[in-house]
Amino acid sequence: MNALDFGFAGLEAQMWQILFLSVRCGAALLAAPMVGGMAVPVQLRVLLSLVVAVFVASWLPLPEIPVMMSFASLLAILQEAVIGAAMGFILQVAFAIPLIAAEQISGTMGLAIATSIDPSSGSQSGAMGSFFSITMTLLFYAIGGHLLWFQLLVESHRILPPGTFLFAAERAQAIVLFMGYALATAAAIALPVVLILLLVQVITGVIARSAPALNLFALGLPAGVLTGLVALIIVMPLVVDQFARVIATALGEIEGIITP
């Protein structure tokens, strides 16, 4: 444990150390979907980043940080912000996977017009996307993903000491590849329901072609919505397993980024 001296003699150095350490924490909290949304006040996020910085300064062995207002300190602050933003951005991409899958499903079901206000971002999102987002969030907290993420955030200061790490191109490439994994996983989640709905649309089209007197919209839209709801109920256990796998993969990706 590092004994912090809050006397007037070393107050400036201690405050600069805590402020420097809070850059990585603040960038991660700003980019993470847990506390980075509009529902969490900025003041609370700043306070939480300072609390984590005090904990890191008290319990982890740290190298000497650059001198305040020097060129080396500006580069180190930029680097700390990049590391923290990368840790939060990966989690943000993981939470976007259910939204992409839900947009594919709702568009096929005919529920694309059913929108609501997302409280975390303040923008409009589909009803199916809100349902998948709530499910993903509850699962993330239920399996302790937030605790593991905060543990990785704290441990990153020990594995990658502040001011001594360079964000290599391989880590940026890993983030881009994870975004490709997110698109593929979203398509895999939506694939069973979309295939069933496509079959229903083909059957509806054949019926409408053979009996032109039938109203296609009056027949096809309720059939698509009902079939989509039944298909979602059937595949929901598989969807939850996919969400849990996405969370584990995202946390493993973050661990890989902070590992030298």
Write the pLDDT tens digit of every residue in 114-172: 666 665 555 666 778 888 888 898 899 998 888 898 888 888 888 887 766 666 777 78
From 189, 195, 193, 231, select the one nearest 96 (Cα to Cα): 189
Using the Cα atoms of residue 102, residue 107, residue 111 and residue 116 in order, give the sign of their dihedral.
positive
Q: Encoding tokens for residue 90?
A: 């990966």
Mean pLDDT of the chain: 80
Q: Encoding tokens for residue 4?
A: 């912090």
Q: Which of 191-195, 200-204, 208-212, 246-250 is the least confident region?
A: 208-212
Count the residues in the chain: 260
Q: In this predicted structure, what is the pLDDT of residue 154? A: 86
Band (pLDDT 50/70/90 cuts) for residue 248 is very high
Cβ proximity of 108 and 193 under 8 Å: yes
Q: Looking at the predicted structure, is the pLDDT value of residue 6 above 60?
A: no
Q: Encoding tokens for residue 49?
A: 């980043």
d(CA 205, CA 209): 6
Band (pLDDT 50/70/90 cuts) for residue 18 is confident
Q: In this predicted structure, what is the pLDDT of residue 105? A: 85
Residue whose token pair is 């649309």? 201
Q: What is the pTM for the complete model shown?
A: 0.81
d(CA 239, CA 48): 33
Cβ proximity of 88 and 28 under 8 Å: yes
